[in-house]
Structure 1
Amino acid sequence: MTSPFPPEIRARYRDEGHWGDVTLPAMFAATCARVPERLGLVDAPNRPQVAGGTVRRMTYAAMREAVDRYAALLQAQGLGPGSLIATQLPNIAETVLLYLAIGQIGAVLSPISIAYRSAELRDLSKVAGFDAYISLASLKGQPFYAERLDALPGGVLRLGIGDGLPDSVTPLDIDAPGIPAPTPAELDADALYAVFWTSGTEGVPKAVPKTHNNMMASSLGAWKKLNLPDGANILAPFPFVNAAAVSGLMMCWMRTAGALFLHHPFDVAVFLEQLKTEDVTYTMVAPTVLVYLRGLASDPDLHPALNRLIAIGTGSAPPDPEVFVFFQERFGIPVVNFFGSNEGAQMCSSVDRLPDPRQRATFFPRDGDENWKPDLRTANGGSFTLVDPATGAPVTEPGALGEMYHRGPALLPGYYSRAGLDRSKFTTDGFFPSGDLFQISDCGTLIRFHARSRELIVRGGMKISPVELDNVLSALPGVREVATAAYADSQMGEKVCLFAAMNPGESLTLPDVTAFCDRIGLAKFKWPERLEIVEALPRTPLAKLDRKALARWLAEHGEAHA
């Protein structure tokens, strides 16, 4: 498959040292040759209950053999360079092995969330035109593949793993006898490695293509900022379905050449068991899990696990700054805050740039702003400008707010479909408007995520950032997680509703919330005027807060149900 990037872009990022000629399969093969007997891949202990089969603990040599067998089985089905192969799998050993095998034969991976059912799969198939689809027979003891069969177009090869697959599905069994060696494929680091999918909160998910070099740039940025040593072991509780998880966890593991401990769907008891019993060096968790771990820190059985950690990564939602302080002061663990998108944005608040843990939870370095210090770059080698959404003028002054337009070696070449690449959102000079609003700090050297441009709450003409409110209100006593959203009001246009999930045995009332806002000196127009107590906040298939689901719920429920 030819590169989706023009020659001048390829030359530019090669000259800058961001792109090269190493593909993901080449990186994996080199690691297998260097440390063949080192432990490389470990299933979660509940794997039999989640996906069937037995728990695998594989060395790099065993992985190398398994990947070759999967590659040969895929080639036997007529798949090869340019074939688009969809996968819908939890984080089990076969998932990682298949991702590597698909790349090895020159095909293109397209991972799909296991939360998607036949309706979403049908929509994605129309956009991408898959050549093959791989999933598993059952998930948590319930048939999984059978429900999705009719959503796939007739020409799609149906491949699967596990016992009990439908008759029309060809099993991929690497333990079968007589599997030949795979045929070597000519690989190009500028060719597509994967097609990821956006969350779909604004309609049908968009297809985000990424080359090997795109992924290398993303993973190199995270790996450098984390400063993980050779042989570092990684516990991966985020599903490998988006660019952030694949580059920030799976590919960081490929660079450290340690063990990758798999986990998914998220189960806090299993996660804690893995932390306590395995030699984990680094993990990345949602902010709510950080809060949960803080609450368990008095458990002496957990202390050895926490003391083994070099760092903890977090992202996907605004974190509580006091949690960052706690882990750094109590256990010497720096919590590293990431902000990214499938399309290619990546910022990282690391200890070397932001030693103050409270700042690290809220701000990101302004590195990469071409209107500030044009020689600096973001974590993945990119750059950006902040643009006034109303005027289109550059935003440069401390305290000012603008939409981030970014470009760089991790940026997608355009949205994907079999009809071609859609670059209609790009500016003439190659910037991609992210829809994310950032505010420059008062000191001028940092930026802070403010809100998605379409999620701002406008109360009587006053614009309110829901992310800012989430950060402030996460300190309410007794809450596990919170989020704010707008609801319609005939006089003010919109008002603020607070959704709160409580810790066991805790309660919260609207007067409690307003008293808290008054006590901390929050401007009154930002105070929530409605409270909804919920079991948990809605999440997208990529584990991000689904604020639009909250807004839809509010639109459907006129009266409060606190």
Structure 2
Amino acid sequence: MSDRTAPRTSQPAANTASPSLDDIFRRLVARQPGLPALIDPPDKRRITGTAPSALTFAEADLAVSSLAAQFVNSGLPAGSVIALQLPNTVEFMLTVLAALRAGLVIALVPQLWRQAELSAALNRTGARAVVTMGTIDGVNHADLAMNAAVEAFSIRHVFGFGINLPEGMTPLDGQPDTSPRFPTQDVRRVAAISFDVTPDGSRAIPRTQLHLIAGGLALFLESGIAQGATILSTMQPSSFAGLTASLVTWLLSGGTLALNHPFDSAVLEQQLVDEKCGALVAPGPLVGRLQEAGMLERLPALRHVVGLWRAPEQVASSPEWTQTSATLTDVYLFGEIGLFGARRGDNGAPTPIQPGPYGASRNEPATPMAGEIILTPHGTLALRGPMVPASAYRPLTDGPRTALSPAPPIAVDYVDTGYAARRDRASGALCITAPPAGLMSVGGYRFLANDLQEWAKRLAQGAMLTALPDRLSGHRLAGRANDNARAREALSALGLNPLMVEAFRDRTAAAS
């Protein structure tokens, strides 16, 4: 990441109207130090090999200060980029808050990324440090981080949580020798970087704390989550939407954040019952499956469900919401560009989306503007507003446009999402009809269609890798080669993520 975009927080910041995320957290610590703040997944030992923990606000604050001191004492100057590849556990939330307290910029690395993508992200952002977990779901992420760091000349430190960390990795489980003075935070400076794929290729998307707070407010106010609620989040916080739906929403509510890996429905249900959760944040397709299974009817304490749709074109055809004790808020996600939410009404159908400005809460028209939705002249949906990093999506080149070049933006503060949309003639509401051309989305991971073929060509003649439509994840990858086992080995050796590797799994046994 260039010096022009990195924050310079070593100097005292000018007075700003908005508090930082750390300011909000410190206020909660001062007001309710003994109340529960963060709760690990109950099956954390299976995921990371370490025991689950639960922290009060005072305990979480001590952990944040300890981590922040370790970062500062290691020699990381304010404004340095620190990459995070962690599971959805307490360590993720503590590390984000600690990095912000130390004046660092967090780079959110998806958990499924392997060495090739991780190395590219470290080099692109000029990261000086990496934080990871020893193992995540049986994968040795410590070795992945160490190997990726070798290919990134800017890396000076590799930090790790967990057990059996390799030599050369700095553990983050100890206490710092000294407590340094932390820099003053400026919410207008870049605080986080996420990664997106556009028709122009992969991009690193920098965001300020104001962007993060604006996204969290839009989600929190629209969903109506109560102050002090216990929120259970199954969202991996390695994206703008995942971070705002979990960390930022938790800080705004002032309640408790429980974390979960949504691989086991029985564990999820038991955790919702044990923690008496009043709110659930989960992928939209998963919410539909939980309703069909009858799980939500067995949760009398649940009052709010927030479903995040990475394939927003699927919302219109989703099942009606039949729960009477809990409300459902659909959150439309458009890569890393932005989001908006719409709480469903009494009829259980998705709320019609009208173009134009919208407030942080659609039920309270007087709330501050969260953003604006427009239909572009070429039939796509565009966004602008306080959460949209418009400058990050400007064309990568100023050269002459060709017939294949994307159309110019309507205005400098708008970002065209690329999602095809049209207006309903009767109601005037927007109908999102298709994802961006040339992009494939598998859950939270986006690929260029051309990239899939390029990777397939590196295997052997006749190898094919493609994306097929999938109701739950948008697309699923499928591959074909003369020897699928050798194809998997080759893709693993190239350092590609398991979505591509497992596309070449042997289907013979399944077919029989």
Shorter-chain TM band: 0.7 to 0.9
Matched, 1:247 2:244: yes
Structure 1 residues 421 and 253: alpha-carbon distance in aligned structure 2, compared to 1, 3 A threshold: farther
Which amino acid counterpart does residue 160 of structure 2 have in structure 1? G
Given the alignment, which residue of 402, 415, 419 partners 2:392?
A: 415
Given the alignment, which residue of 337, 340, 353 partners 1:347?
A: 340
Using the TM superposition, give the Cα deviation of residue 273 of structure 1 relative to its aligned residue in structure 2, in angstroms.
1.9
Matched, 1:364 2:341: no
Matched, 1:432 2:415: yes
Q: Which residue of 2 aligns with 1:316?
A: 310
Structure 1 residues 406 and 501: alpha-carbon distance in aligned structure 2, compared to 1, 3 A threshold: closer
Using the TM superposition, give the Cα deviation of residue 388 of structure 1 relative to its aligned residue in structure 2, in angstroms.
2.4
Matched, 1:134 2:128: no
The answer to whether the Cα contact below 8 Å between 1:226 and 1:350 also exists between their aligned partners in 2 is yes
Gaps of at least 5 residues in structure 2 are 8-14, 359-364, 399-407, 442-448, 450-466, 479-498, 504-510
Structure 1 residues 378 and 86: alpha-carbon distance in aligned structure 2, compared to 1, 3 A threshold: farther
Aligned-pair Cα RMSD in Å: 3.7
Q: Which residue of 2 aligns with 1:185?
A: 183
CA deviations over 1:66-115 (Å, ceiling 9, x no partner): 10000000001111321000010001111100000000111100110110
Greater shift in the superposed pair: 225-234 or 402-411: 402-411
Which amino acid counterpart does residue 113 of structure 2 have in structure 1? Y
SS in 1 for 2:215: helix
Structure 1 residues 36 and 130: alpha-carbon distance in aligned structure 2, compared to 1, 3 A threshold: same
SS in 2 for 1:82: coil
Distance 2:332 2:347 in 1: 18
Which amino acid counterpart does residue 32 of structure 1 have in structure 2? V
Using the TM superposition, give the Cα deviation of residue 121 of structure 1 relative to its aligned residue in structure 2, in angstroms.
0.9
For residues 224-303 of structure 1, the aligned pairs below 5 Å read 224-264=221-261, 266-297=263-294, 303=297
Q: Which residue of 2 aligns with 1:52?
A: 49
Using the TM superposition, give the Cα deviation of residue 380 of structure 1 relative to its aligned residue in structure 2, in angstroms.
6.2
SS in 1 for 2:349: helix
Structure 1 residues 359 and 224: alpha-carbon distance in aligned structure 2, compared to 1, 3 A threshold: same
For residues 535-550 of structure 1, the aligned pairs below 5 Å read 537-538=476-477
Using the TM superposition, give the Cα deviation of residue 406 of structure 1 relative to its aligned residue in structure 2, in angstroms.
2.4
Q: Which residue of 1 aligns with 2:91?
A: 94
Distance 2:228 2:111 in 1: 30
The answer to whether the Cα contact below 8 Å between 1:244 and 1:340 also exists between their aligned partners in 2 is yes
Structure 1 residues 95 and 342: alpha-carbon distance in aligned structure 2, compared to 1, 3 A threshold: same
Q: Which residue of 1 aligns with 2:34?
A: 37
The answer to whether the Cα contact below 8 Å between 2:233 and 2:246 also exists between their aligned partners in 1 is yes
The answer to whether the Cα contact below 8 Å between 1:413 and 1:421 also exists between their aligned partners in 2 is no
Using the TM superposition, give the Cα deviation of residue 445 of structure 1 relative to its aligned residue in structure 2, in angstroms.
4.3
Distance 2:246 2:122 in 1: 27
Greater shift in the superposed pair: 48-57 or 380-389: 380-389
Given the alignment, which residue of 410, 426, 431 partners 1:448?
A: 431
For residues 204-223 of structure 1, the aligned pairs below 5 Å read 205-223=202-220
SS in 2 for 1:359: coil
Distance 1:80 1:141 in 2: 34
Q: Which residue of 1 aligns with 2:370?
A: 381
SS in 1 for 2:118: helix
SS in 1 for 2:433: strand
Q: Which residue of 2 aligns with 1:160?
A: 160
Gaps of at least 5 residues in structure 1 are 6-13, 370-375, 390-401, 457-465, 468-484, 486-496, 503-533, 540-548, 554-560
Structure ID, larger Rg: 1
Distance 1:344 1:201 in 2: 10
For residues 369-518 of structure 1, the aligned pairs below 5 Å read 381-389=370-378, 402-415=379-392, 429-454=412-437
Structure 1 residues 169 and 50: alpha-carbon distance in aligned structure 2, compared to 1, 3 A threshold: same
The answer to whether the Cα contact below 8 Å between 2:284 and 2:308 also exists between their aligned partners in 1 is yes
CA deviations over 1:480-524 (Å, ceiling 9, x no partner): xxxxx9xxxxxxxxxxx985689xxxxxxxxxxxxxxxxxxxxxx
Distance 2:88 2:368 in 1: 26
Using the TM superposition, give the Cα deviation of residue 357 of structure 1 relative to its aligned residue in structure 2, in angstroms.
2.2
CA deviations over 1:341-388 (Å, ceiling 9, x no partner): 35443222124xx5542233xx3233428xxxxxx8999622243222
Distance 1:2 1:35 in 2: 39
Distance 1:341 1:378 in 2: 23
Structure 1 residues 186 and 211: alpha-carbon distance in aligned structure 2, compared to 1, 3 A threshold: same
The answer to whether the Cα contact below 8 Å between 1:321 and 1:358 also exists between their aligned partners in 2 is no
Using the TM superposition, give the Cα deviation of residue 56 of structure 1 relative to its aligned residue in structure 2, in angstroms.
0.9
Structure 1 residues 117 and 2: alpha-carbon distance in aligned structure 2, compared to 1, 3 A threshold: closer
The answer to whether the Cα contact below 8 Å between 1:219 and 1:380 also exists between their aligned partners in 2 is no
Distance 2:366 2:239 in 1: 23
TM-score (normalizing by structure 1): 0.69
Using the TM superposition, give the Cα deviation of residue 339 of structure 1 relative to its aligned residue in structure 2, in angstroms.
0.9
Distance 1:145 1:377 in 2: 49
Using the TM superposition, give the Cα deviation of residue 210 of structure 1 relative to its aligned residue in structure 2, in angstroms.
0.6
SS in 2 for 1:324: coil
Which amino acid counterpart does residue 442 of structure 1 have in structure 2? R
Distance 1:453 1:224 in 2: 29
The answer to whether the Cα contact below 8 Å between 1:367 and 1:378 also exists between their aligned partners in 2 is no
Distance 2:202 2:235 in 1: 19
TM-score (normalizing by structure 2): 0.75
Distance 1:324 1:332 in 2: 15
Which amino acid counterpart does residue 184 of structure 1 have in structure 2? F
Percent of residue pairs bearing the same amino acid type: 21
Matched residue count: 431
Structure 1 residues 322 and 218: alpha-carbon distance in aligned structure 2, compared to 1, 3 A threshold: closer
